[in-house]
Amino acid sequence: MHDYPPGAFLKGLILVSTTVIFWGILPVALVFALSEQDGTTITWFRFLVAAIVCTAYQGWKGRLGEFTRLSLRDWGWLILAAIFLIGDYLLYIYGLTYIDPSAMQVFSQTTPLFMALGGIIFFKEKLTKLQGLCFVALFVGLGMFFNSAIGNFEMGETNFIIGAILAVVASFIWALYAMLQKLLADRLSAMNILLFIYIAAVFCLFPKAELESFKALTGADWGILMFCAFNTLVAYNAFSESLKYWPTTHISSVIAITPLATIVASYVGSRLWPDTVLFASVNMVGWAGVVLTLVAMVAFNFRRKPPVLGQVRPRAARAAGR
């Protein structure tokens, strides 16, 4: 069990909602960025900007000294968290060479399931019967939402099977990263945890980054690239902070609706830039799935009683990303 501070529910809601919004918008921005650079180079630059900003901010606040108080075991967990998050990014990009983004997005929805299971197994979080039903309804709704994309999958193709496996493995190791992030939350600030991961990612991805591609970028290209970089900074810091205020099972139920945010962003983008951003229309079954997903998410996180002042006991916690 874990104790949460006063006002935890509202703070957690704001933070996890911010994560969903920024992760939902990111794919639209990446459509523009990927037309000029490869995915690895873009990812490396996003981590580079995040590392520079975090280092400057934490140094200004005098918080870099937190690292000196870590035990050897803490450093081991921190290194593992970095390996898992970097691995998730690389597997996601590699998976896109086998299956299209819509298929990747479908299989990436195993992330909230792995995350919730991690909360139950590692942090002893509990699910009520209602929450269990809501969690099932959440995934049924997502399946309905993706029904058109699922219908177009060619299940027998070797490439499809490889891509599906990569997507699920990426989701699994991202959930492991999230568990370690929560485990380290009492030992290191969220921004310092991410700072270490950002710096590790910069060094790991540097050999594959195509630096020459930056010379051809226009002012607009740089603007899009910087947005993608700061999207990473805002989304992951909001997610990391939310782990202090909500159980992982609750966070996972909200993170699961990220595709709905993406579909809204894609629709707006297609209206503004019809030649660049494509909008995959949603049929009636899909919209019914949207309604079911939202109702299940709200019901899952509904609290009948206000928290005891000073303590909030959990009942029952991206990404992708990204």
The tens-digit pLDDT sequence of the chain (322 residues) is 456 666 788 898 999 999 999 988 888 888 788 888 888 899 899 999 999 999 999 999 999 999 999 999 999 999 999 999 999 888 887 787 777 666 676 677 778 778 888 888 887 777 778 878 887 888 788 788 777 666 666 655 667 778 888 888 998 999 999 899 888 988 888 899 999 999 999 999 999 899 999 999 999 999 999 999 999 899 988 988 888 888 888 888 888 888 788 878 888 888 888 877 777 677 788 888 888 888 887 787 765 444 443 443 333 333 334 4
The total number of structural domains that make up the chain = 1
User: Could you tell me if 127 and 249 are in contact, meaning their C-beta atoms sit under 8 angstroms apart?
Assistant: yes
Residue 277 belongs to a domain = yes
Q: Could you tell me if 264 and 227 are in contact, meaning their C-beta atoms sit under 8 angstroms apart?
A: no
Q: Compute the CA torsion angle 175, 176, 182, 188 (nearest 10 deg).
A: -130
16, 242 contact by CB (below 8 A): yes
Contact 160, 95 (CB under 8 A): no
pLDDT of residue 149: 66
**Domain for residue 92, yes or no?**
yes
Task: Give the model's pLDDT for residue 81.
Answer: 94
User: How crowded is residue 308: how many other Cβ atoms within 10 Å of its Cβ?
Assistant: 10
The pLDDT of residue 199 is 95
Give burial (CB, 10 Å; 0-12/13-18/19+) of 249: buried
Instruction: Assess contact for 176 and 118: CB atoms under 8 A.
Output: yes
Cα 27 from chain centre: 12
Residue 309 maps to a domain? no
310 domain residue, yes or no: no
Domain limits for position 78:
8-301
Does some domain include residue 316? no
For the purposes of burial, counting CB atoms within 10 Å of the CB of 186, is it exposed (0-12), middle (13-18) or buried (19 or more)? exposed
Predicted TM-score (pTM) of the model is: 0.78
Q: Is residue 319 part of a domain?
A: no
Could you tell me which residues are beta bridge partners of residue 312? Answer: 4
Six-digit token pair at 147?
């029904």
Task: Say if 311 falls within a structural domain.
Answer: no
Give the tokens for residue 261: 């945010």
Q: What are phi and psi of 210, to 5 degrees?
A: -95, 90
pLDDT at 185: 84
Q: How far apart are CA 150 and CA 157, in angstroms?
A: 14
Per-residue model confidence (pLDDT) at position 102 = 60
pLDDT at 302: 67
**178 occurs within a structural domain:** yes
